[in-house]
Amino acid sequence: MFDSLFNALPVALQFGSVVSLFVGTLVGILIGALPGLNPVMAIALMLPLTYGFDPVIALGLVAGIYNGSMYGGAIPAILLKIPGTPAAIATTFDGYPMTRNGQGGLALKTACWSSAIGGIISAIALMTLAPLLAQVTLAFGPTEYFWVAVFGLVSIAVLVGSDISKGMLSALLGVIIGLVGVDTISGAERYTFDSLYLSGGFDLIIVLIGLYAIPPVLEMAEKSNATYYDAGSFKVDASGNALGLIRQHWRTWTRSSLIGVSVGILPGAGGNLAALLSYNEAKRKSTNPESFGTGNPVGVAAAESGNSADNASAMIPSLTLGIPGNLVAALVLGALMIHGLQPGPQLFTKSPDVVFGFMWQMLFTAMLLLLLGGMVATRLFAQVLRMPTALLVPTTLVLMAVGVYTVKGNMTDLYVMLAFGLLGYLLHRLAFPLAPVVLGVLLGPMAEQNLRLAMLISQDNWGSLFTRPISQGIIALLLMVLFTQAWKILRKGRQN
Amino acid sequence: MKTLQLTSLVALSAFTAMPVMADDYPNRPIEIIVPAPAGGGTDNVARMLNQYLQEELGESLAVLNVAGGGGAIGVNQIARAKPDGYTLLSTWNSPITTVPHMQRVQYSYETLTPITSTSQSAYTMCVAPDFPAETGEEFLAELQNNPGQYTYGNDGVGGTMRLAAERIFEAYDIEARPIPFGGAGETLQNFLGGHVDIYGGSITPALPYVEDGKAKCLLVTSADDNEALPQASGLAALGHPELETVLWRMMLAPEGMDEQRVNVIADAVASAVEHPEFQAFLTSQGETLNLVRGEELRERLHQETVAIGETLEKLGLKKN
Amino acid sequence: MNFRDIISGIAFLIFGCTVVWVGSGFDAGAAYVPMGVGILMCLFSLSLIVKGVVQTQQNGGLSSAAALIDHPGRFMATVACCLIYYLAMPTVGFYSTSTLFIILLALVLGERRPIVVLGITVGFIILLYGLFAMVLKRPLPVEFFLVS
């Protein structure tokens, strides 16, 4: 097995592949940095361009965009509080406060290093675990998926924000938004009010852009045109040297990367969940948890290494089983099949050069972030931000419009995005956390569908939800999160 | 200065695009709506075909994946689009012939403009290696003898796979429990993990596991046997060729598209599928070419819609 | 802040009840989860209301929160411009409408230097054109002067 891994190294290092790695990473960073353009869309848009290429070059581009965009999403998250990608939500928590404290450069450098480290660890996990982990993933049936989704939802609702009631209400609101549309199991329409648009349900990307990108732009528009962004604060300052960063963050990086890798292996959950879980873990482990959310670099390190560590590991179930771990993995799968490569165990024996070459490419593009992420991307992006806000507002709104329109080519989506934007603005002003809403949209339907599949399979035997060992493990984790949180609140109550 | 240049640029491009006549079609990129998610079977075949179609048409084709509602969302969108030939639909049969029986939709095979069908393939049913049956006949007998025992994963309510299975099960008086998954990928994972007893879905995803001995496929839903699955029986071999239900793909356009333009596309598809690489791709996907054009295609859609309507009525699944 | 919590709690309570009420009409299997989610939403909104009431009594009903909208004029103008932009896009075309939208909103938000406005607008539109029309070849609403 490892022979084929090293035999594929020269393939990944051939001239065309290296060029595609550079181009892909740069394009990925820029696309990730533009709010509204997310990696899924970027890769979907790039795929047709790769048909003419050799699969190795095509996959090199894909690997670059994938890793590049995961870091790119952090740039506007840190500088503008607009996550460029869904996975950068957790990066805004401390990244933006750092910018406000005049540490934007340090935040970007931390994000760059964290993304690279997370990506490297993830690629190594992909190389070593891919063949071994097939069996574990298969043991996950509807029951296990149900518990994973519930775990993700409850832990986010409870851990994000200050008020549990508000977190839960946000999450539940998201679940209801996710439930709108045709029910996949019975075929019945729910909460569609006879509207054909609603019968299709809400697209996650559109809800996300609306909730996350519009409120900050509206807030920007409300401020007077006199507030220019100070381009000076975007310089990568010397205070964060590499050795210092490594010394400060290696624990966080290791922990978050492990979380990211584990989340990536589970199909369905994406970089956003990995980032939020890593962030919460870092906050929980910290000696100074109150500093999180006010500009603690550890928060940025945790979020960015977590979401990047999700990337390559999401390819593990895709490449071994042909079952994508997330949307990007599904697209990579599509790219493989278009080049006539059938995913599955055979892929490793029939086309080892391509599959192991792709693993190397994931590793190299993660390393390239250190080279391209710091210097080039940040400076390019800082130029964009010299714009007066009166122009930044309309140009960002145009980007969102074009981003949403190209998802499905439907004008109604633009109005829906704006409506979610106003809702997000209101919720934000009323101090409801927005991350649980988005995760509710994603995980709510997943939990429901798998619960009902489990019931169909077991013929309505509710006990079957609790008998399988993996389910019990996840339930134990869930209870642990709930009890620690309850204990914290009790202790706080007694102190008051 | 910049604005002046831009204006003249725009004016120039407007001028070159001036002689707008039907024979000029297409003169700008065409949007192809695929009513399924990116990376799935329908999407792959559509994108592969597009690659050769673009060469024939000399214009780029952009795929828009509008998934949801069993494909109805994407077809609804095309039904409302301008019939200028710059928005086309690349779909499989179920959103057109099955879904309208179960959901409210804004289209019908009667109004959409048929362009051409492209290819077709059968579905298969597979079981674990230790399942007590080695042939299609034994498989059906085992299901008959154990009513309500076995679960089969399928592609959901209104999916063609479920319909194909129910038609066979009804004829054999079999009671098996359908478990509706999101698609063949999800079904396969649950089948391999032992969460459902029978895999029901397209042939391609199952092939590697047949070679590995992790699955044995005993039935295909076409009348003929399938070369890729020697152990599986076709329905003709079982004596029921009339139960055939296959998945087939086609290109459609909104109502009222100019006939000359329809022919431009249909001709281009006819020569695009001649590419040996495309044919090799189809073979690897277990699909066969099948080109039916214009009104003949509408007739095929009509017949299938009526037949499926009757089946669904009998099964008690029909809603509209 | 707490007074707002009471109001938003009541809004969520009404929303949760509506979800349960509409959900009660679904088929058995399709109804469980929506009903459950609606009921949970009612419970958590009640807890939010109770907490808000308790805090209001402690604070003597003082509302110390910042305004819900900082600058209603700019806010409404931006939203209105967006609506006009979306309405015009399908008929006028993507690049034309976007150009006009950027110039209009920039003027509304107080940027009056013609060179800055035009320069950035034109540069940005050319960039978009290069990316979407030339590199990615993505169809966007067609310009009115190019419709065939």
**DSSP states of A420-459 as a string?**
HHHHHHHHHHTT--SHHHHHHHHHHHHHHHHHHHHHHHHT
The whole-number pLDDT of residue A46 equals 64
Chain A touched by C19 (CB under 8 Å): yes
Chain A touched by B189 (CB under 8 Å): yes
| Mean per-residue pLDDT over chain A, rounded | 79
Residue contact C139–B10, C-beta within 8 A: no
Can you tell me the distance from the alpha carbon of A320 to that of A266, in angstroms, rounded to the nearest whole number?
Answer: 13
Distance from CA of B58 to the nearest CA of C (A): 13
Residue contact A338–B192, C-beta within 8 A: no
Chain B touched by C118 (CB under 8 Å): yes
Listed residue (B41, B107, B103, B43) closest to B253, CA to CA: B107
Lowest mean pLDDT among A15-19, A24-28, A149-153, A425-429: A149-153
Residue contact A394–C81, C-beta within 8 A: yes
For residue B14, the chain C residues in CB contact (below 8 A) are: 145-146
The whole-number pLDDT of residue B135 equals 92
Q: Could you tell me which residue, A220 or A25, shows the higher pLDDT? A: A25
Residue contact A185–C105, C-beta within 8 A: no
Listed residue (A1, A96, A78, A82) closest to A37, CA to CA: A82
Asked whether residue B2 carries a pLDDT value surpassing 50, the answer given is no
Can you tell me the distance from the alpha carbon of A278 to that of C82, in angstroms, rounded to the nearest whole number?
Answer: 37
Write the pLDDT tens digit of every residue in B115-171. 999 998 889 999 999 999 999 999 999 999 999 999 999 887 777 888 889 889 988
Distance from CA of A160 to the nearest CA of B (A): 31
Can you tell me the distance from the alpha carbon of B17 to that of A406, in angstroms, rounded to the nearest whole number?
Answer: 24
Can you tell me the distance from the alpha carbon of C130 to that of A92, in angstroms, rounded to the nearest whole number?
Answer: 30
Can you tell me the distance from the alpha carbon of A69 to that of A331, in angstroms, rounded to the nearest whole number?
Answer: 15
Asked whether residue A380 carries a pLDDT value surpassing 60, the answer given is yes
% of chain A exceeding 90 in pLDDT: 11
Write the pLDDT tens digit of every residue in B290-307. 899 988 999 999 999 998
Listed residue (A361, A421, A454) closest to A206, CA to CA: A421
Q: Show the CA angle centred on residue B87, arms to residues B81 and B90, nearest 5°.
A: 110
Lowest mean pLDDT among A111-120, A390-399, B271-280: A390-399
Looking up tokens 């099949």 gives A337
Asked whether residue B36 carries a pLDDT value surpassing 60, the answer given is yes
Could you tell me the residue ranges of all domains in chain A? 2-495
The whole-number pLDDT of residue C141 equals 86
The whole-number pLDDT of residue B4 equals 43
- The stretch A350-375 carries a mean pLDDT of 82
The whole-number pLDDT of residue A153 equals 80
| Six-digit token string for A272 | 């956003």
Residue B288: what residue type? Answer: T
Specify which residues B32 forms β-bridges with: B63, B88
Q: Is the dihedral of CA A421, A422, A424, A428 positive or negative?
A: positive
For residue C141, the chain A residues in CB contact (below 8 A) are: 405, 411
For residue A452, the chain B residues in CB contact (below 8 A) are: none
Residue contact B208–A334, C-beta within 8 A: no
Residue contact C138–B62, C-beta within 8 A: yes
For residue C114, the chain A residues in CB contact (below 8 A) are: none
Residue contact C126–B6, C-beta within 8 A: yes
Q: What is the DSSP track for B19-63? A: ---GGG---S-EEEEESS-TTSHHHHHHHHHHHHHHHHHTS-EEE
Can you tell me the distance from the alpha carbon of B80 to that of B72, in angstroms, rounded to the nearest whole number?
Answer: 12
Residue contact A401–C89, C-beta within 8 A: yes
Distance from CA of B160 to the nearest CA of A (A): 14
For residue C122, the chain B residues in CB contact (below 8 A) are: 2-3, 6
CA-CA distances (angstroms) from residue A424 to A38, A210, A429, A433? 19, 7, 8, 9
* Pairing outcome for strands B87-92 and B61-65: unpaired
A78 touches A295 (CB < 8 A)? no
% of chain B exceeding 90 in pLDDT: 39
For residue A166, the chain C residues in CB contact (below 8 A) are: 48
Say what the alpha-carbon torsion angle A153, A158, A160, A166 is, to the nearest 10 degrees.
100
Q: Which of B44, B195, B211 sits opposite A334 (nearest CB)?
A: B44
Query: Searching chain B, which residue's CA lies closest to the CA of residue C133?
Result: B29
Q: Which of B38, B68, B177 sits opposite A181 (nearest CB)?
A: B68
- The stretch A259-263 carries a mean pLDDT of 84
CB interface of B with A, residues 159-178, below 8 Å: 177
Going by pLDDT thresholds of 50, 70 and 90, the confidence category of residue A232 is very low
Q: Is the dihedral of CA A474, A477, A479, A485 positive or negative?
A: negative
Write the pLDDT tens digit of every residue in B3-32. 444 444 444 444 444 444 446 888 888 989
Q: Which of B27, B60, B84 sits opposite C137 (nearest CB)?
A: B60
The whole-number pLDDT of residue A52 equals 56
| Six-digit token string for B284 | 């690897």
Could you tell me the residue ranges of all domains in chain C? 2-59, 72-135
Residue contact C148–B62, C-beta within 8 A: no
Query: Searching chain A, which residue's CA lies closest to the CA of residue B106?
Result: A196
For residue A406, the chain B residues in CB contact (below 8 A) are: 64
Residue B7: what residue type? Answer: T
Chain A touched by B66 (CB under 8 Å): yes
Can you tell me the distance from the alpha carbon of A394 to that of A377, in angstroms, rounded to the nearest whole number?
Answer: 22
A278 touches A306 (CB < 8 A)? yes
Q: Could you tell me which residue, A130 or B303, shows the higher pLDDT? A: B303
Q: Where are the alpha helices (DSSP H) in A73-203?
A: 74-80, 89-100, 104-129, 134-138, 142-159, 164-179, 196-199
Can you tell me the distance from the alpha carbon of A472 to that of A468, in angstroms, rounded to the nearest whole number?
Answer: 6
| Six-digit token string for A314 | 């999401």
The whole-number pLDDT of residue B253 equals 94
Write the pLDDT tens digit of every residue in C40-57. 999 999 999 998 888 878
B293 touches B301 (CB < 8 A)? no
Asked whether residue C82 carries a pLDDT value surpassing 60, the answer given is yes
The whole-number pLDDT of residue B13 equals 44
Write the pLDDT tens digit of every residue in B228-252. 888 999 999 999 988 888 989 999 9
Lowest mean pLDDT among A451-455, B100-104, B192-196, C13-17: B100-104
Strands lying side by side in the sheet with B151-154: B177-180, B151-154, B198-202, B123-127, B216-220
Q: Peptide bond preceding A343: is omega within 30 degrees of 0, i.e. cis?
A: no
The whole-number pLDDT of residue A135 equals 57
Chains that touch A (3 or more CB pairs under 8 A): B, C
Lowest mean pLDDT among A24-33, A343-352, B36-45: A343-352
Residue contact A141–B193, C-beta within 8 A: yes
Lowest mean pLDDT among A207-211, A482-486, B37-41, B225-229: B37-41
B278 touches B48 (CB < 8 A)? yes
- The stretch A432-458 carries a mean pLDDT of 85
Lowest mean pLDDT among A296-300, A358-362, C54-58, C117-121: C54-58
Write the pLDDT tens digit of every residue in B48-102. 898 899 889 988 888 887 877 778 888 988 998 889 899 999 999 989 998 888 8
Among A402-411, A416-425, B52-61, which range has the highest average pLDDT? A416-425
CA-CA distances (angstroms) from residue A81 to A33, A206, B312, C102? 12, 18, 52, 22
CB interface of A with B, residues 49-78, below 8 Å: 51
Q: Which of B50, B62, B151 sits opposite A457 (nearest CB)?
A: B151
Residue C44: what residue type? Answer: F
Q: Could you tell me which residue, A29 or A340, shows the higher pLDDT? A: A29
Residue contact C141–A405, C-beta within 8 A: yes
Chain C touched by A198 (CB under 8 Å): no
% of chain A exceeding 70 in pLDDT: 80
Residue contact A194–B104, C-beta within 8 A: yes
**What angle, rounded to 10 degrees, do the helices at C72-92 and A204-222 form?**
130
Q: Show the CA angle centred on residue B301, arms to residues B297 and B305, nearest 5°.
A: 170
What are the backbone angles phi and psi of residue B59, rounded to the nearest 5°? -135, 155
Q: Could you tell me which residue, A295 or C84, shows the higher pLDDT? A: C84
Distance from CA of B87 to the nearest CA of A (A): 10
- The stretch C33-45 carries a mean pLDDT of 94
Query: Searching chain A, which residue's CA lies closest to the CA of residue C138?
Result: A406
Residue contact C37–A186, C-beta within 8 A: no
A73 touches A83 (CB < 8 A)? yes
Residue contact A201–B68, C-beta within 8 A: yes
Residue contact A331–B73, C-beta within 8 A: no
For residue B10, the chain C residues in CB contact (below 8 A) are: 143, 145
A282 touches A302 (CB < 8 A)? yes
> Chains A, C: CB contacts under 8 A, how many?
162
Query: Searching chain A, which residue's CA lies closest to the CA of residue B188?
Result: A323
Write the pLDDT tens digit of every residue in C92-129. 999 999 999 999 999 998 888 899 899 999 999 998 88
Identify the three-state secondary structure at position B254.
coil
Chain B touched by A187 (CB under 8 Å): yes
Q: Which of A44, A141, A321 sits opposite B195 (nearest CB)?
A: A141
CB interface of A with B, residues 136-155, below 8 Å: 137-142
Strands lying side by side in the sheet with B61-65: B61-65, B30-34, B87-92, B247-253, B113-121, B288-289
The count of residues in chain A is: 496
> Chains B, C: CB contacts under 8 A, how many?
35
C5-11's contacts with Cβ under 8 Å and 24+ in sequence apart are C5/A430, C5/C48, C5/C49, C5/C51, C5/C52, C5/C55, C6/C48, C6/C49, C6/C52, C6/C53, C6/C56, C8/A430, C8/A432, C8/C48, C9/C45, C9/C46, C9/C48, C9/C49, C9/C52, C10/C45, C10/C49, C11/C45
Distance from CA of C114 to the nearest CA of B (A): 12
For residue B27, the chain C residues in CB contact (below 8 A) are: 148
* Domains of chain B (ranges, CATH numbers): 27-120+247-315 (3.40.190.150), 123-243 (3.40.190.10)
Chain B touched by A322 (CB under 8 Å): yes
Burial class (CB in 10 A: 0-12, 13-18, 19+), A430: middle
Q: Could you tell me which residue, A482 or A179, shows the higher pLDDT? A: A179
Lowest mean pLDDT among A126-140, A338-352, C24-38: A338-352
The count of residues in chain C is: 148
B→C contacts (Cβ < 8 Å), by residue, are 2-3, 6, 10, 13-14, 17, 20, 24-25, 27-31, 60, 62, 84, 86
Lowest mean pLDDT among A274-278, B104-108, C63-67: C63-67
